[in-house]
């Protein structure tokens, strides 16, 4: 089983904000899977802590793998609380280092670029740090989606990340989400190491 987690803030107020890049990318991935015969939609679950949708992935026509897409309904800085609630249900059959993939925005990476990490520090990302604190390990996979502006901004970081993507950024966002989708599928079909070699900080289409 793979557990894919999209980090962001819940609610209409935060839709399409830079801090929700992980949610936006994972929603794009999920929409693509619904139109891909390799992926069977197995239904959804919603509660106060998270929304979840389950897929069955057949990558060679014979073998299948369960994929769970999870969106915490807590705010970003306490994302780990929602994740831990789900993990407590499946802990006996789940190894975060192999199977937990977290998708999130990253101010350390230029907008338009992607970096895939495993077993790395939070680098100051509060949502990721809360996950580390709650599950007791940093040994999981992270899809770090760059949101750093290409030109200097006078906006404090905490304000910048809560702004909606600009019109120019929005026109590029579809391409970025496609690159994240391609990286994710390379990881599923081959390995995270292969996804890293193909996709890290460059176009991976």
Least Cα distance to 7 among 30, 29, 25 occurs for 25
Active site residue 16: no
- Out of 16, 19, 28, 104, which one is annotated catalytic? 19
Cα(175)–Cα(164) distance, integer angstroms: 17
**Dihedral sign, CA of 181, 185, 188, 190?**
negative
Can you tell me the distance from the alpha carbon of 17 to that of 148, in angstroms, rounded to the nearest whole number?
13
Tell me the sheet residues that pair with 186: none
Contact between 74 and 48 under an 8 Å Cβ cutoff? The reply is: no
Q: How far apart are CA 78 and CA 102, in angstroms?
A: 14
SS3 94: coil
Which residues are the active-site residues? Answer: 19
């Amino acid at each position: 089983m793979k557990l894919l987690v999209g980090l962001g803030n819940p609610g209409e107020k935060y839709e399409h904000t830079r801090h929700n890049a992980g949610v936006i990318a994972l929603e794009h991935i999920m929409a693509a899977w619904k139109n891909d015969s390799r992926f069977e939609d197995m239904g959804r679950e919603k509660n106060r802590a998270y929304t979840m949708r389950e897929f069955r992935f057949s990558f060679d026509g014979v073998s299948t793998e369960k994929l769970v897409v999870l969106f915490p309904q807590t705010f970003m800085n306490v994302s780990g609380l929602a994740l831990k609630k789900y993990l407590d249900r499946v802990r006996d059959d789940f190894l975060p280092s192999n199977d937990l993939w977290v998708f999130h925005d990253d101010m350390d990476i230029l907008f338009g670029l992607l970096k895939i990490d495993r077993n790395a520090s939070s680098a100051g990302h509060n949502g990721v740090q809360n996950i580390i604190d709650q599950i007791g390990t940093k040994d999981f996979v992270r899809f770090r989606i760059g949101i750093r502006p290409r030109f200097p901004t006078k906006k404090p970081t905490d304000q910048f990340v809560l702004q909606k993507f600009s019109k120019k950024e929005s026109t590029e966002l579809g391409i970025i989400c496609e690159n994240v989708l391609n990286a994710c599928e390379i990881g599923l079909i081959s390995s995270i190491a292969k996804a890293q070699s193909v996709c890290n900080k460059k176009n991976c289409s």
